[in-house]
Amino acid sequence: MGLLEQPELDLDDKSFDELVQEARTLISRYCPEWTDHNIHDPGITFIELFAWLAEMQIYQLDRITENNYRKFLELVNIFPGTQKPAKVDVTFEPKGAGLVHETVTAGEKIVALVDGEQMVFEVELDTVLIPSTIRKVTTRTGSRTIDNTEANATEHVYFAAFGEHPSPGAELTLDFEPELPPGEIQLTFNLFEDDLTLPGRHGAESTDINPSVILEWQFHRNGKWERFAVRSDTTQSLTLSGRVTLELPSGNSGDVKSIRCRIAEGRYEIPPMVECILINTVPVIQVETSRDVPLGESTGMPGQTLSIGKKPVMARRVFEAQRFLPGDIIDWQLLLGRIKSHASETPEKRIWDRLASSIRSRIKDWDGAHMPDPAMKSSVLGALNGMLGDTTLYDETAFSKVRMLDSASLLIRRMDILNEAGVRSLNRYLIQAAFPDAISPGRPVIQVGDGTLWETWTEVRDFESSGPSDAHYVLDAGAGEITFGNGLNGKIPGKDAVIRAHFFQTTLGRRGNLRQGVTFRFETQELMDKVIGKNLRDAAGGEDAESVEDAKGRARRDLRTVYRAITPKDYEQLALDTPGLRVRRAKAVENYHPGYPCVEFPGSVTVVVVPYARKGDATPMPGNGFLKTVFDHLDTHRLITTDLHVIKPEYISISVKCSIKRRKKSSQKEVEKRVIDRINRFLDPLSGGEEGNYGDKGKGWPFGRAVYPSEIYQIIDEVEGVDYVTRVTIAAGGGRDSGEPVKIPEYGLVYPGEHQITFI
């Protein structure tokens, strides 16, 4: 909005005279004894004064601009989102026999051909392409073996990875042709989840799941099975779609043609259903990276603006609680060189001290002149990600020369009260700030220098807190422009200084959400001649920049979101919102400690959780990993004095016996079927009460609610074909029949057992 441009008036535009006249007409209604309405009356003087003030307020309120709303949103830590890139997996097939064992590094460009136009994507993770193909897929559970080869190769057909009811010992075996080469083997699993609800979300919190199942990966060589070294598993033990990276050691003899995955221990809440298992699948992201782009020379004038040359520019938030990815490293040689030549009382020394001895040895042996190998990159990246949760990483002396934002300094002073996600976000920022030339912050890296020596400047939202010597700039991501300070608020680059964009990325946002079946090819001629790829799923995640109006709506929703657990309802809602999990039901029990069930335990809160399950599982039970994931989420939001516990429910079967007199011309078989079905719906722990006001109106049987024979009488009496019912008895958990109510513990649920219907 220009300096002379004003927003349109859209509020009450009454003038001063109109306000005074309206107030005068109201005097006789509210104060009939006031009869002197002339201007010499002090009351009229006050009316004119207030009318004057009201007119000024109306005028000012009508001039709340978009920038004002942005500042209001900042007060509640809401910022309009910038463009987000689309992501997709691309599966490559060899064009001929030339493919051997190709390593595709993160950041390599891949071009999608869309309606005759080229759209640039980049490889997100280091990937290895191998000449092998999956020849056979089999599942073994108990004594049963199932061939899933055809299902794996057929689109829109899925299969149970370990059977429909997997237990420890169940196996998934993959046979390859020809044999697998030594080194990294990467398997991509696309799971079928269309019949499930969306996983939980809570604000911008990241997903950190503890699987309830431990898997063991093995390869077959020389007549025996040997264990794999698992480099990474983004599937979280096949609970999510993702990629498993295995390390196949080189052997003296014997070809490896088979891999198997077996359940070592634990059980799934939702057994994995697989759409397809793929190799040679590359995760790509719709960004285009530019490096060392000259932007021109400084004029030495205040407030100068330069164009980056491309738009829109991708600009993530400064603090993000996510792991470092290979593509986040701008310059591996610079990063490792600085860590290798560390000095005392520096960030490099803090990082060096936290590296494993094996990684230190590899860095010492590295010559520095050549790019580190993929294994070295992976180990260093894993070590950096391991440091994100370290509450002792920051040291005031070591980081004294690191240029940090005021918000980071504030968080450092309150490190003792930050939750795990906050610590990870802060440590990520500290590491990025310590290596501004080597690690991407997800935003442009702007440098000013003389062509040889460069100073990295810091991006800020505005210059309000910038001093004359602060090397700050403001980015307009949509326009692709950067603006420098005026000498009072923000430093001015020296006259004739060279300005460059050392690193920045652009994205097309929503346009990158391509449909499946698009052809992809590598930009390098060598790989272009060997492989060609297609995306078997739609690209997703691409978003355009968020408008201020949308951000205002998000702020309203965020203000209604529960972030602090105080009441039992808060605990229940937070449990249901656990990121990445599908929690079907939750119940918070006050003053209850599972270790002391017979006494009231003040200050203790126990949360009972029920996982989501596919149809057919009447009593879904959470595993230990599921319980720990919910606990970790609640633990970051609870009051510090609360003793928190998360437990599984206790299921109690309810069996009903009764005698029924059916109506004339009613089929005994059909009446019996309808009665049993009605009882089962009533006692369903997940959707009980859907036939009326029983239970919790279809949301499942209430935790701890007793079962009364009178209710059983009532629901049977309402069944079509029933004249009347007598002698209703209830047996709980296989116990004795009784005509008395069945009491259920507060953490308990009922489920239907075996019923006996007698006709009289």
**What average pLDDT does the structure give for the chain?**
89
By the 10 Å C-beta count (0-12 exposed, 13-18 middle, 19+ buried), 505 is classed as buried
What do you get for the CA distance between the two ends of the chain, in Å? Answer: 84
Q: Tell me, what's the pLDDT at 39?
A: 85
Given a cut of 90, whether residue 377 has pLDDT beyond it is no
The mean per-residue pLDDT over the stretch 507-520 comes to: 93
Closest C-alpha to 657, from 712, 733, 701: 712
Given a cut of 90, whether residue 270 has pLDDT beyond it is yes
pLDDT band at 693 (very low <50, low <70, confident <90, very high): very low
pTM above threshold 0.85: no
Given a cut of 50, whether residue 104 has pLDDT beyond it is yes
State percent of the chain over pLDDT 70.
96
pLDDT band at 3 (very low <50, low <70, confident <90, very high): very low
- Running DSSP on this structure, what letter comes out for residue 630? H
By the 10 Å C-beta count (0-12 exposed, 13-18 middle, 19+ buried), 33 is classed as exposed
Q: What is the pLDDT of residues 658-692, one digit of tens each?
A: 999 999 888 999 999 999 999 999 999 988 754 44
Given a cut of 50, whether residue 295 has pLDDT beyond it is yes
Q: Tell me, what's the pLDDT at 698?
A: 57
Given a cut of 70, whether residue 695 has pLDDT beyond it is no
Check residues 9 and 306 and name the one with the higher pLDDT: 306
Q: Tell me, what's the pLDDT at 281?
A: 94
Given a cut of 90, whether residue 426 has pLDDT beyond it is no
Q: Tell me, what's the pLDDT at 748?
A: 94
Closest C-alpha to 636, from 595, 575, 584: 575
Q: Tell me, what's the pLDDT at 551?
A: 93
By the 10 Å C-beta count (0-12 exposed, 13-18 middle, 19+ buried), 549 is classed as exposed
Q: Tell me, what's the pLDDT at 735?
A: 82
The mean per-residue pLDDT over the stretch 238-252 comes to: 87
Given a cut of 70, whether residue 611 has pLDDT beyond it is yes
Looking only at the bridges linking them, the beta strands covering 650-662 and 756-759 are: parallel
Looking only at the bridges linking them, the beta strands covering 281-285 and 87-94 are: antiparallel
Which amino acid makes up residue 731?
A
Q: Tell me, what's the pLDDT at 476?
A: 92
Q: Tell me, what's the pLDDT at 4?
A: 43
650: which strand partners? Answer: 748
Q: Measure the CA–CA gap between 207 and 202, rounded to whole angstroms.
A: 9
Q: What is the pLDDT of residues 396-416, one digit of tens each?
A: 899 988 887 777 777 787 777
Check residues 106 and 306 and name the one with the higher pLDDT: 306
Q: Tell me, what's the pLDDT at 252?
A: 55
The mean per-residue pLDDT over the stretch 455-461 comes to: 90
Q: Measure the CA–CA gap between 698 and 273, rounded to whole angstroms.
A: 27
Task: List helix spans (H) across 112-271.
Answer: 149-153
Least confident of 173-187, 194-208, 315-329, 332-346: 315-329
Closest C-alpha to 733, from 702, 760, 754: 754
The mean per-residue pLDDT over the stretch 534-563 comes to: 92
Q: What are the start-end ranges of the E strands in 679-734?
A: 722-732
CA distances (Å), origin 512, targets 117, 183, 504, 516, 544: 12, 33, 18, 12, 10
Least confident of 79-83, 296-300, 478-482: 79-83
Tell me if 425 sits within 8 A of 442, measured CB to CB.
no
Q: What is the DSSP string of 564-625?
A: SB-SHHHHHHHHHT-TT--EEEEEEEET--TTSTTS--TTEEEEEEEE---TT-SS----HH
Q: Measure the CA–CA gap between 469 and 491, rounded to whole angstroms.
A: 5
Q: Tell me, what's the pLDDT at 521?
A: 92
Q: Tell me, what's the pLDDT at 95?
A: 81
Q: Tell me, what's the pLDDT at 59?
A: 80
Tell me if 165 sits within 8 A of 271, measured CB to CB.
yes
Q: Measure the CA–CA gap between 73 and 67, rounded to whole angstroms.
A: 10
**Inter-residue long-range contacts of 222-229, CB under 8 Å, 24+ positions, other chains counted:** 222/251, 222/253, 222/254, 225/260, 228/259
Here the tokens at position 443 are 């935003």
pLDDT band at 1 (very low <50, low <70, confident <90, very high): very low
312 preceded by a cis bond (ω within 30 of 0): yes
Q: Tell me, what's the pLDDT at 321?
A: 58
